[in-house]
């Protein structure tokens, strides 16, 4: 199983968490805003410590009663809701930030259709372009798995379609297991190999 997750935590006065098991490919967690989907990704990535339970990815234990690997040892490629690109670095430098090996740059840029963006500055990118660059940076970090937090939110229809096609291409290469959260059931059904309702 790619993901075996059973965690819970508190954020303020609210209990958050989830329990699911999923195989290879792209798993989508779908649910309304505010039910704790981002908190669940944060626990898997090691950014929020669960109160209990376990996180296993690809058979590797990231968290349980005896283990709590720090985020940098979990090898999660995390794409946040906002692209979080470095404004003072061109797209190519953003893509290679944290990459252990630059040899895959051309392959990833081609897959995400961002070759023509490599010399551009982040401020000149559309929202869809910036999301594709953020996904590329996550892929080039040599992740064991990808976490996508509402990667299509706040995009106009044309940019949303660009980003969806990029996610489909990454999904179809089966390079790494992907866990994505969204509140949009249509997105979930189009992109996911499986859809799990949360909240």
Q: Is it the case that residue 1 has pLDDT exceeding 80?
A: no
Q: Residue 119: pLDDT band by 50, 70, 90 thresholds?
A: very high
Per-domain boundaries in the chain = 3-197
pLDDT tens across 180-193, in order?
999 999 999 999 99
The label of the residue with tokens 């720090």 reads 70
Q: Quick one: average pLDDT of 66-82?
A: 94
- Write out the CATH class of domain 3-197: alpha beta
Lowest-confidence pick of 71-80, 132-141, 152-161: 152-161
Q: Quick one: average pLDDT of 29-52?
A: 92
For the chain, give the mean pLDDT. Answer: 93
pLDDT tens across 149-178, in order?
999 988 889 889 989 999 999 999 887 999
pTM score:
0.93
From the number of C-beta atoms within 10 Å of its C-beta (0-12, 13-18, 19+), residue 80 rates as middle
Give buried/exposed letters for 44-70 (b at 16+ CB in 10 A, else e): bbbebebeebbbbbeeeebbeeeeeee
């Amino acid at each position: 199983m790619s993901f075996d997750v059973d965690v819970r935590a508190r954020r303020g006065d609210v209990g958050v968490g989830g329990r699911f098991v999923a195989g290879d490919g792209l798993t989508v967690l779908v649910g309304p805003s505010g039910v704790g989907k981002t908190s669940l990704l944060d626990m898997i990535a090691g950014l929020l410590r669960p109160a209990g339970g376990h996180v296993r990815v690809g058979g590797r234990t990231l968290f349980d009663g005896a283990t709590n690997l720090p985020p940098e040892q979990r090898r999660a490629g995390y794409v946040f809701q906002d692209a979080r690109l470095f404004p003072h670095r061109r797209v190519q430098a953003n893509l290679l930030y944290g990459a252990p090996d630059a040899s895959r740059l051309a392959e990833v840029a081609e897959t995400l259709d961002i070759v023509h963006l490599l010399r551009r500055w982040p401020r000149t990118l559309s929202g869809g372009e910036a999301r594709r660059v953020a996904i590329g940076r996550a892929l080039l970090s040599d992740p064991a798995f990808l976490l996508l937090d509402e990667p299509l939110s706040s995009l106009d229809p044309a940019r949303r379609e660009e980003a969806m096609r990029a996610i489909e291409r990454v999904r179809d290469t089966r390079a790494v297991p992907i866990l994505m959260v969204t509140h949009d059931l249509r997105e979930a059904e189009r992109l996911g190999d499986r859809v799990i309702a949360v909240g």
